[in-house]
Structure 1
Amino acid sequence: MTTTVLIVDDQAMVRAGFAALLRAQTDIEVIGEAADGGQGVELSRRTRPDVVLMDVRMPEVDGLEATRRLLSPPPGVAHRPRVLMLTTFDVDDYVYQALRAGASGFLLKDAPPDDLIAAVRIVAAGEALLAPSVTRRLIATFVQQRPAAHGNQALRRGELTDRESEVLALVARGRSNREIAETLVLAEQTVKTHVSRVLTKLGLRDRAQAVVFAYESGLVAPGE
């Protein structure tokens, strides 16, 4: 199955490098490139990619605003691609805000080529949060700096069973389904079912949003 990708970055050399790398893969097709977030949103709605590689910092419309537009589209626009944020910095407030807006993960621009290829495949599959340890640290940093009001989030968390809460806490700590299964002595398929139910009950898009929710609801705390 081919994964279609749209690359949004204001640097032509960066776009060209990413495009060449991804086009060399038999299961990935680059269907477009855009130089800013506004163009990226328009092109995404025309081409309907599976994954959008989105630079964080761009002139005109930045990656954060573009991600919001893609993942909270106006009525009549059903397509919501998975967004993989690209950043030069490993701790960036824009990335945190983008994760809260629904981005599926982030990747450093200087990451090895194999990491980019793997990231696209992981995000397209929706199976796991990209770079969980780094993403977890990024989220924890900003939650710690700006504690959120936990009231509404805690009420929503009350919809979960005890087992679902256990699973969510382990997801927030960056554990894969296999690792969660080993920790809780469950079948991996059972863990997948629990994760799916957590996302459905809380109205979350994917594991990235689940990690944010777990911190902001107080289920897990920075430094645990």
Structure 2
Amino acid sequence: MNTSSISTTSSGTTASIIASNKVIRNTYMLLSMTLLFSGVMAALSVAFNLPHPGLIITLVGYFGLLFATYKCQNSGWGLVSVFALTGFMGLTLGPIISSYLSLPNGGQVVAQAMISTAVIFVALSAYAITSKKDFSFMGGFLMVGILVAFLAGLGAVLFSIPALSLAVSGMFVLLMSGLILYETSNIMRGGETNYIMATTSLFVAIFNLFTSLLQLLGFFNGDD
């Protein structure tokens, strides 16, 4: 069997598994809609040149809406909360994208970050789905790693340490890649049965993966 046949078979297997798994099917459907909505909000933020709300408002808004989504996950309000959360994150992303687009190679950097994020997500998700491996062992490591990276990121912002900020971005690329594997595996194995929370986890992973790649690619392209 040649390479193209193997690739086609793998894609067919992945599609078949998604179609037969209700939770992951609903998760991917909602994830697609929230990504689109967040993208529209980010585009509007760029178009109207909205300023960044600042660290405090961003953190309060993010954790507040994340908590609301968790509390409402089993009701219709959960859908409202997850769109509010992803829309808010899109608005905060707009000013960041604007700052890169204003640079000489900014458009190329943003496009590279988007494409890289999409490729990484699709590849890791397909691997987790088709291999059916149990990645639950990563849970504790990811929790600690994300907490450490988050605190280090706050330190980098508060004390203006570019080198630490780049290191944190590198950590987040690895951690968010691991989170995609972990969450997808968790859905496949029945550990996560709520598609709203599954969507939230995967969206956060994609968002942080994109922003981290954006900073790294910006640095290596000489834009930062």
Indicate the structure with greater strand content.
Answer: 1
- TM-score w.r.t. structure 2 length? 0.27
**Between structures 1 and 2, the one with greater helix share:** 2
Q: Which structure is richer in relative contact order (CA contacts within 8 A, separation 6 or more)?
A: 2
Q: What is the TM-score with the length of structure 1 in the denominator?
A: 0.27
